[in-house]
Structure 1
């Protein structure tokens, strides 16, 4: 079994900044949704129209997740280092904050305000969301951001298989195989009802995840890093298409738009891993953005119930709809969401990053409790290993 790499060896400058900005964009997106009803129509001012597309932050998260998880294997000739070890580390990293956020979301939805028009969560909601199968079976959502967590968990299951294909047949073969299957689903789902059932799994994300994993080959020296401007070239036609066709068309065609957006994100991450462009890397690696990125997962998990509650209880009854409501939501919900996420991460996310087993976590907790009771022993110090998850 391969020993885990050190924190310094795994950290790539700028990735935390991307995580933080993407999570913050999702918060702003939900502020936009509460202030300008009628989604997917763009009923807001032109200067805020870009906030309608919070879905694209999830696209970035998925590509980034495949990239981050593949960095270590790419440095080891695409070897995972043990499926059981990988599964344990992913579960340890993802599930404690997720299950805690689920409890928090259920409490808010049952006692304050439901998340959606479908009404408060039910027993099925608890079961399906607790087992991360909410994209398989429908139930009232306790948290509007939870849909993507199930998708990501399912991608973790196929990740070892993707690496095996890369090792046996090459990255191009793996990418081609995944893309062909995903494109076939997209082409057939409008005309074949059985295939349309697969849409609930957001199948395009499988290709985006695979693309991120392939892009991580840059870190392992499997291919050269692309020039930074190539990402902008790949992005330009996607942005043009969205501007020309409008929000309703774009949302209704997320499947293909996501696939078109993926290469731009993958090229950007590959260039960033090589330290280019240097000014942007330096900006993304500033201390505030690194800090925001360190608890971006908690921000993603916890913000939606808070945004909905603030709008329903504070903003909607007292502030006019539209721009006044939006500006008020941004002023209230953004700092509140960041503060709650920071506290949540300190309790339920970061300890699981610093301590990689129940024994280590228990030892750290007892080490803090004993001095508080008058003891002199200091708690053992564990250096956190950088997580790959946004």
Structure 2
């Protein structure tokens, strides 16, 4: 199933919901987050219905659903972009690093740990993830500490692999800003890219370097590109008027052409290089959306239902895999022929169930941590709500 401070627009799959007029919010970013998370859900319905990944064993017109991995590429670039919006408006200065780390932990860990518990219960009582045995005590420790890309253990949730990478990129974020501020955007992206490309070239022949591939190092380049793209929010009018919305598809076109020509098996085997090649087009798209272009796309992405989807997209990403697997293996597979019928029924059942479960789950484990930035604020809000309920009840 492999295939989130003031003005801070938060990370990949996660994001705080703010009133549209608030300075920190950029129209369209929540929508991109939500659409990407939903695409991952549909991708996993496709995987369960058409075995044989990375070969495309389904209808050719559905072949694009094989590439759920690219939604994670979008998440990673968007993560760098979103976290860098506030620093980009203030000379690329982050402020208190410890405060940043506390807020990242406060925002990411409670929903993640709750989703881990949920996933473990599903795996132990209903169904395990495809290709995985039941989670063990090691699984609890490794996944609880976000070390799943370092140590192997039976996975309780096929989507968790990218969350560990996010945590590692957060650690690198202050250093990336320091390099950018002192040496410039080109030097920062160049340094990160040079290190990552060296890993990619040396890995096939050097076992010690090959171990680094478990960390998905190409995502560091994507994250850095997102950070640099955020510079558009603090740029002058001349830079903001550049045709970012035309440059993005131009950058993507040759990469997409290679994917179409070489096919899914080759593409999946070369995700390391394909991800790096796609990164600039995603960064350019985010720069375009941040400047309000193309206007029609931004308006669509900022429609209330799509924006609302983005508000709990982190939770949707976190809990969808166990639900999709359970629905497919316990309900769809025993009753529906494999292939397209199974896929359509899985969509009809798993998608609405997952959306409803994610929204309810987020109401408890994600949205309160978006709205209240620390423990004191959360407890104060809880006391206020309890007092109001008791008063109205009396």
TM-score range, shorter chain: over 0.9
Q: How does 1:127-138 map to 2 (within 5 A)?
A: 127-138=141-152
Which residue matches 1:318?
A: 335
Q: Distance in 2 between matches of 1:255 and 1:57?
A: 15
Confirm whether residue 30 of structure 1 aligns to residue 44 of structure 2. yes
Which residue matches 1:224?
A: 239
Runs of 4 or more, structure 1, over 2 Å off, are: 3-7, 370-377
Q: Distance in 2 between matches of 1:70 and 1:368?
A: 34
Q: Distance in 2 between matches of 1:22 and 1:12?
A: 17
Alpha-carbon displacement from aligned partner over 1:175-212 (angstroms, at most 9, x marks no partner): 10000000111111111111110000000000000000
SS of corresponding position for 2:23: helix
Confirm whether residue 275 of structure 1 aligns to residue 289 of structure 2. no
Q: Distance in 1 between matches of 2:131 and 2:166?
A: 25
Structure 2 unaligned runs (5+)? 9-17
Between Structure 1 and Structure 2, how many residues are aligned? Answer: 375
Q: Distance in 1 between matches of 2:382 and 2:175?
A: 37
Q: Distance in 1 between matches of 2:125 and 2:186?
A: 51
Asked if 2 retains the 8 angstrom alpha-carbon contact of 1:204 and 1:258, the reply is yes
Which residue matches 1:117?
A: 131
Which residue matches 1:62?
A: 76
SS of corresponding position for 1:219: helix
Q: Distance in 1 between matches of 2:80 and 2:47?
A: 28
Q: Distance in 1 between matches of 2:328 and 2:51?
A: 12
1:4 paired residue among 3, 6, 30: 6
Which residue matches 1:236?
A: 253
Asked if 1 retains the 8 angstrom alpha-carbon contact of 2:252 and 2:278, the reply is yes
Q: Distance in 2 between matches of 1:155 and 1:203?
A: 10
Which residue matches 1:385?
A: none
SS of corresponding position for 1:373: helix
TM-score by length of 1: 0.94
Which residue matches 1:361?
A: 378
1:21 paired residue among 22, 35, 42: 35
Confirm whether residue 200 of structure 1 aligns to residue 214 of structure 2. yes
Confirm whether residue 301 of structure 1 aligns to residue 315 of structure 2. no
Q: CA deviation at 1:376?
A: 8.6
Structure 1 unaligned runs (5+)? 378-390
Q: CA deviation at 1:375?
A: 6.1
Q: Distance in 1 between matches of 2:52 and 2:210?
A: 25
SS of corresponding position for 1:144: coil
Asked if 1 retains the 8 angstrom alpha-carbon contact of 2:7 and 2:25, the reply is no
SS of corresponding position for 1:224: helix
Aligned-residue CA RMSD in angstroms?
Answer: 1.4
